[in-house]
């Protein structure tokens, strides 16, 4: 799925309809790829190349984020995965696997002064045959990309090129290849075989480009709550986000990304909503602590579960992750019309006036919850 097609789907006609069409067309195949990659990685765990603490997350951009980014940058990061490992060597092993299975469209390494050290790449899945041994050598020896020492967006235009330099992608993997090459090669072969078997019948016309982030656990923690937190260098209206959270106006899929985590047995599930909030907006952590103290956590979980059930009626990829997802639909078109209004009024897009969002009561969503029998009026705690 090309960047141009992604952008055209979102900006042509009704943007909400374009968003729905894009996610419905590509979301299901994306989840299949995630599940196949997770299954493949289990081999590396069994062969003790990856530790048990290796974590794999995936995400689909929410409507608000997609709307906000449509005119600002390419949308080839619409579907993403994040690989977090204990060591640099494990990180590069997963990077190597990704390079074998995908054609890399663009990539970059980052080693910033704020402690963010990671590899980002966007790839196009390609199921093809090749000699794994020679391909590994080729990738490790010749792969280069740009190294970003600091965030170019924070620099003046004439200074950006000075902050970039060419660098080798792989550094730490060489030690593993020199000391355990047979195990590495056989493991990668088995991983690719599982990946290709699982995706044998995939619809390649509906396979999206996937953006992947590779980092160590130390870097991930720093990126969430430390000096490398994205809220420290991205333009975020913290006060607005805090007000929306505390008044029950942040909903997964509408203005908060769909994030999925992987369980030890390889199953995928929707991430805990509070964890998603913290990873997206770290400054909400103290507000989450306060809501837990006030006994409001269950209410926040219930609100998002209700929203998940409504969205699952329109986005089929979501159904396996939502319990009791069958709703007696009064009118599917009517429901989508109501959801579109919620997506618009709760959007964090640049064209929406913050003051207008602040005035909106959360009952707009709750009235939908009630009309579909998801909650009873008395169950909602007033904010």
Give residue-wise pLDDT tens across range 7-28.
Answer: 555 554 478 898 999 999 999 9
Phi, psi angle pair for 55, to nearest 5° = -120, 150
**Band of pLDDT at residue 383, cut at 50, 70 and 90:** very low
The lowest-confidence range among 161-170, 191-200, 206-215, 250-259 is 161-170
Distance from C-alpha of 28 to C-alpha of 178, rounded to nearest angstrom: 39
Mean pLDDT of 274-282: 94
Q: Which residue has the tokens 């940058």?
A: 73
Give residue-wise pLDDT tens across range 88-108.
Answer: 999 999 999 999 999 999 999
**Stated pTM of the model:** 0.88
Give residue-wise pLDDT tens across range 313-342.
Answer: 999 999 999 987 677 656 778 889 888 888
Percentage of residues of the chain with pLDDT beyond 90 = 54
Query: Which range is most confident: 147-161, 333-347, 359-373?
Result: 333-347
pLDDT at residue 240 in the model: 86
pLDDT at residue 366 in the model: 78
DSSP string, 93-162: HHHHHHHHHEEEEEEEEEE-TTS-EEEEEEEEE------HHHHHHHHHHH-EEEEESS-GGGS-HHHHGG
pLDDT at residue 380 in the model: 45
pLDDT at residue 7 in the model: 52
Residue 123 burial by CB count (10 A; 0-12/13-18/19+): exposed, middle or buried? buried
Mean pLDDT of 231-258: 84
More confident residue, 381 or 180: 180
Give residue-wise pLDDT tens across range 199-244.
Answer: 988 998 899 999 999 999 999 988 777 666 665 556 678 888 998 8
Phi, psi angle pair for 17, to nearest 5° = -65, -40
pLDDT at residue 233 in the model: 54
Q: Which residue has the tokens 């924070």?
A: 154
pLDDT at 115 over 90: no
Distance from C-alpha of 316 to C-alpha of 312, rounded to nearest angstrom: 6
Query: Which range is most confident: 80-94, 162-176, 253-267?
Result: 80-94
More confident residue, 154 or 143: 143
pLDDT at 196 over 50: yes
What is the CA angle 257-262-264, rounded to 5? 160
| Residue ranges of E strands in the chain | 55-60, 79-85, 102-111, 117-125, 144-148, 164-168, 210-216, 258-262, 268-270
Give residue-wise pLDDT tens across range 34-70.
Answer: 999 999 999 999 999 999 889 999 999 999 888 776 5
pLDDT at 33 over 60: yes
Q: Which of 145, 74, 152 is CA-nearest to residue 104?
A: 145
pLDDT at residue 1 in the model: 45
Mean pLDDT of 286-298: 93
Q: Which of 100, 118, 94 is CA-nearest to residue 43?
A: 94
DSSP label at 228? Answer: T
Q: Quote the mean pLDDT of the chain.
A: 84
């Amino acid at each position: 799925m090309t960047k141009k097609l992604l952008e055209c789907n979102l900006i042509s006609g009704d943007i909400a309809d374009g968003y729905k069409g894009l996610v419905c067309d590509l979301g299901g195949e994306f989840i299949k790829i995630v599940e196949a990659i997770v299954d493949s990685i289990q081999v590396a765990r069994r062969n003790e190349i990856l530790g048990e603490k290796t974590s794999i997350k995936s995400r689909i951009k929410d409507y608000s984020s997609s709307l906000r980014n449509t005119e600002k940058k390419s949308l080839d990061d619409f579907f993403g995965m994040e690989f977090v490992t204990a060591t640099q060597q494990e990180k590069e092993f997963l990077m190597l696997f990704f390079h074998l299975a995908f054609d890399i469209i663009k990539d970059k390494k980052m080693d910033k002064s704020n402690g963010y050290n990671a590899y980002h790449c966007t790839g196009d899945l390609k199921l093809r045959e090749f000699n794994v041994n020679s391909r590994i050598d080729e990738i490790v020896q010749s792969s280069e990309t740009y190294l970003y020492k600091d965030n170019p967006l924070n620099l003046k235009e004439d200074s950006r090129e000075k902050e970039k330099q060419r660098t080798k992608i792989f550094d730490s993997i060489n030690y593993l290849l020199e000391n355990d090459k047979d195990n590495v090669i056989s493991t990668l072969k088995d991983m690719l075989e599982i990946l290709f078997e699982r995706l044998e019948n995939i619809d390649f016309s509906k396979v999206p480009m996937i953006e992947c982030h590779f980092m160590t656990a130390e870097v991930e923690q720093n990126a969430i709550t430390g000096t490398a937190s994205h809220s420290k260098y991205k333009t975020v209206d913290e006060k607005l986000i805090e007000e929306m959270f505390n008044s029950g106006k942040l909903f997964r899929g509408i203005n908060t990304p769909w994030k999925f985590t992987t369980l030890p047995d390889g199953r995928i599930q929707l991430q805990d909503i509070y964890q998603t909030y913290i990873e997206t907006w770290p400054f909400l952590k103290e507000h989450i602590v306060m809501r837990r103290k006030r006994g409001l956590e269950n209410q926040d979980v219930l609100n998002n579960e209700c929203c998940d059930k409504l969205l699952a009626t329109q986005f089929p990829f979501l159904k396996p992750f939502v319990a009791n997802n069958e709703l007696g639909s009064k009118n599917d078109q009517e429901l989508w019309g109501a959801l579109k209004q919620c997506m618009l009024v709760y959007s964090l897009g640049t064209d929406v006036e913050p003051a207008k969002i602040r005035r909106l009561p959360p009952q707009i969503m709750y009235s939908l919850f009630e009309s579909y029998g998801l909650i009873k009026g008395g169950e909602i705690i007033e904010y």
